[in-house]
Amino acid sequence: MITKEYAMPNNKVSFNTDPSIIDVSGNCDSPIDFGDEDFISGNTSDIRSSSYDPDFWKIGTKYSRKLNLNENQTVMLNTMSLSNNVFNEIEFCRVQIIKQFLRSIDYLYSNCIPVNKSYATVIDELSEIIVCLHYNYKKDSLNYSYTYNSVQTEILNHILKLCENNVREVYGIKRKINTDFNYTDQDILYQYNKKIVSKLETFLIENQYLILDADFRTNIILNENNTNRWKTKFELIRNDYSNPLAFEREVFRLADVNIKNPSVDAIFFESSKFVAEHDKNCALRLYIHYLEKDLNSPKFDKREFPKNIQKNLFSTKELFSDFEKIMNDFIGDRNLEIALKKINQFYLPKRKRITIDAEAIKNIQAQHSETAEILGQILSDDSEEELISIQQEEVGKKKELTTNVIPMISEIQVSKYNEELNLTDIQKDILDLFEKHSFNILQEDLRDFIKTKGLFMDSTIDSINERCFELLDDILIEEEEEYLIINTNYYKKLLNND
């Protein structure tokens, strides 16, 4: 068994590498709470005893039970002080700092062997160097022991600061605490960097994975105090983009831990801008959520999409006007559910509403009556003339009836469909087939019919829809389960009735 001696104020403490020493590898973490267990449980005996115990509020004693510290670790931490700041006052962060510190000390004691073998640890060796070079005290002087212990505590506190910056880096906090060493003597700084700092820099980076990820509550506090912290996580989400649903889900998770962040609206705005080139509906949904957060913020600024994104999302002025109407309605009624429902239907094909002009129908009916009357008169006259031209001839003993019809009106060939459509004969035959089948044909039957013409069904149907789209502003032949159907009102518009 290897025994190492570590100097502490007014005494020497022995750290033994035996099984009783706490495992600071990070593999077996004790549950972390966010409150005083004694207050929660109603046990105030320890709190009452604090007035008699001067070490009660010191780091080692305070975390002795929570981190399962052994006696030597408790004594070492009790000599130190942790300068409070917004970051380390968060209990979860403070626990991770102390754990990383204990791992660092264990590494220094185990792997950094002093050049002078008479020192148990490199910290002891460096403490001696500082006392001699900076204070010029000898071991037998009155001030040596106190100064030695004080210097050793300064070294430990500096290592604790290095660990805090290491945890800050893991949690995406760009602001770091000052880690300038107390001594500026070049010889001291050289020895300190060589024996401790350079070793710890490598160790702390390699062991960052042992620092636990911040939990939900801690993330909320960190994001509230560091309003741009979300950008690091958002960059990861953006780089890992695979599909709009997964992206949207991750954005909402990020927003959940930024609930108290005054910049939470920026998360949705940046997300909507990014996803616009991948999925338009997703972009508009996220923009509505941005608008909701912006409306609830102290300053409502209603940021707009950049021009290039607007052109991508809104191909026509009508689309942009429709979106503005949805936004204005939402700003007025704050009904998020209705706004999102409108957005989800925003890019669906819009059918033209058919309006019936009763007056026009009456005029057509009147014209039709007049036409029918004229045709009736013409047909009546034609009948009389045809009867006159009938001649009966008798051949032999049999009578042969010969009828000569003199046409009075020349027959004019008129296309059934609007000539402007420029439909081919095959396309007209297909439309005729739909009419015969009440505008509802099995896909398989139509495929067989088109196949007999030497064509493919999909391309043929698409060609008909393209010819008719300009007139209808909609799709003529649509798919409905195993059938293909035509809207009868649309079909009537194709006919040449005028």
**pLDDT tens sequence across 108-117:** 999 988 887 7
Q: Which amino acid is at 110?
A: S
Q: Kindly tell me if the per-residue pLDDT of 96 is higher than 70.
A: yes
User: So what's the pLDDT on residue 18?
Assistant: 43
Task: Indicate the range of 103-107, 119-123, 361-365 predicted with least confidence.
Answer: 361-365
pLDDT in tens, 303-341: 899 999 999 999 888 999 999 999 999 999 989 999 999
pTM for the model stands at 0.60
DSSP element (H, E) containing 394: strand 391-395
The pLDDT tens digits of the residues spanning 222-259 come to: 999 999 999 999 999 999 999 999 999 999 999 999 99
**pLDDT tens-digit series, residues 393-429:** 444 444 443 334 334 433 445 678 888 888 888 888 8
**% residues pLDDT > 90 (the chain):** 46
Contact of 14 with 3, CB cutoff 8 Å: yes
Band (376; pLDDT cuts 50, 70, 90): low
What is the average pLDDT across 362-389? 59
Which residues, other chains included, contact 9 with Cβ-Cβ below 8 Å and sequence gap of 6+? 79, 146, 149, 150, 153
pLDDT at 97: 97
Q: What pLDDT is recorded for position 363? A: 66
In sequence order, which ranges of 348-442 are alpha helices (DSSP H)? 358-388, 425-436
Segments of 256-350 assigned E as strands = none
Model confidence at 42, pLDDT cuts 50, 70, 90, reads very low
**pLDDT score of 30 more than 70:** no
109-113 contacts at long range (C-beta below 8 A, 24 or more positions apart): 109/4, 109/6, 109/15, 110/17, 111/199, 112/195, 112/196, 112/199
Distance CA(493)–CA(441), nearest Å, equals 20
Residue 53 has pLDDT above 80, yes or no: no
What confidence tier does 265 reach under pLDDT thresholds 50, 70, 90? very high
| 433 has a pLDDT exceeding 60 | yes
3 state DSSP class of 304: coil
Give the pLDDT confidence score for residue 252 in this predicted structure.
96
Residue-wise pLDDT tens digits, 275-302: 999 999 999 999 999 999 999 887 788 8
Nearest to 274 by CA among 240, 307, 309, 302: 309
SS3 state of residue 356: coil
Across the range 162-182, mean pLDDT stands at: 94
**Range of weakest confidence among 33-37, 45-49, 189-193, 323-327:** 33-37
Mean pLDDT of 258-281: 94
Stretch 20-38: mean pLDDT: 42
Q: What pLDDT, on the 0 to 100 scale, is given for residue 374?
A: 66
